[in-house]
């Protein structure tokens, strides 16, 4: 039985083939340690219906992730050659032409299995992990196979994770967005936040 990767634990490392800018090369997760945040986005398979909507949207907003010093790695159990074909296919044909980050090949399904995302049909559940620069898991979600994920929410969560790591003792309340008020993570000190919040609402 495999234990699901946990928040606050080191993300399982891997070394495998990836495709980026129409070139094949080895990608090792630990190579990003000390350099960048990493988003691991698992998707069921190439040429599935929901996957290109998510993967292309992430690519279109790559500049926002670069500003947050974050590398995106998309993973499925397809071969590198299937990835290459997918990347050459135009968007109006359901492809990922001009994708701005690597596609990772997990043809042995070892990575998907290690992250406990393998379905009974041999596909991957749509899992997503945010790793900090030390390779520690800070966030993860797992979706229904037919439910697309939100890039806006992903960026919001990423910003909040980075904020609290850079501002010890602070916490981000519900629906927090960058630039909005935070609160103290200490239960007693956080009362000042609630006092100000509800006094403004006359509650």
pLDDT in tens, 131-186: 999 999 999 999 999 999 999 999 999 999 999 999 999 999 999 999 999 999 88
Does residue 136 share a domain with residue 119?
Answer: yes
Model-level pTM?
0.93
The CATH number of residue 121's host domain is: 3.40.30.10
Q: At what angle do helices 151-166 and 51-60 cross, to 10 degrees?
A: 50
Q: pLDDT at position 203, please?
A: 54
Domain tally for the chain?
Answer: 2
Q: How far apart are CA 34 and CA 167, in angstroms?
A: 19
pLDDT at 195: 81
Mean pLDDT of 93-117: 96
- Residue-number span of the structural domain to which 179 is assigned: 170-203
Q: Is pLDDT at 62 greater than 90 in this prediction?
A: yes
Q: 46 lies in a domain?
A: yes
Strand, helix or coil for residue 56? helix
Contacts of 122 (CB under 8 A, 6+ apart): 77, 109
Residue 192: pLDDT band with limits 50, 70, 90? confident
* pLDDT (tens digit per residue) in 78-91: 999 999 999 999 99
């Amino acid at each position: 039985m495999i234990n699901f990767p946990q928040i606050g634990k080191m993300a399982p490392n891997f070394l495998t083939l990836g495709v980026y800018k129409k070139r094949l090369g080895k990608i090792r997760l630990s190579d990003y340690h000390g350099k960048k945040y990493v988003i691991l986005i698992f998707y069921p398979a190439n040429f599935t219906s929901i996957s290109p909507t998510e993967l292309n949207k992430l690519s279109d907003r790559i500049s926002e992730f670069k500003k947050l010093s974050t590398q995106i790695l998309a993973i499925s159990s397809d071969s590198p050659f299937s990835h290459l074909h997918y990347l050459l296919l135009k968007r109006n044909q359901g492809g990922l032409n001009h994708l701005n980050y690597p596609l990772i090949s997990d043809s042995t399904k070892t990575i998907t299995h290690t992250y406990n995302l393998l379905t009974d049909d041999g596909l991957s559940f749509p899992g997503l992990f945010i790793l900090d620069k030390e390779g520690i898991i800070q966030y993860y979600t797992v979706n229904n196979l037919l439910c697309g994920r939100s890039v806006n929410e992903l960026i919001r969560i990423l910003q909040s994770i980075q904020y609290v790591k850079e501002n010890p003792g602070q916490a981000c309340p519900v629906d927090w967005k960058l630039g909005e008020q935070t609160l103290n993570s200490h239960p007693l000190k956080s009362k000042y936040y609630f006092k100000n919040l509800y006094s403004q609402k006359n509650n």
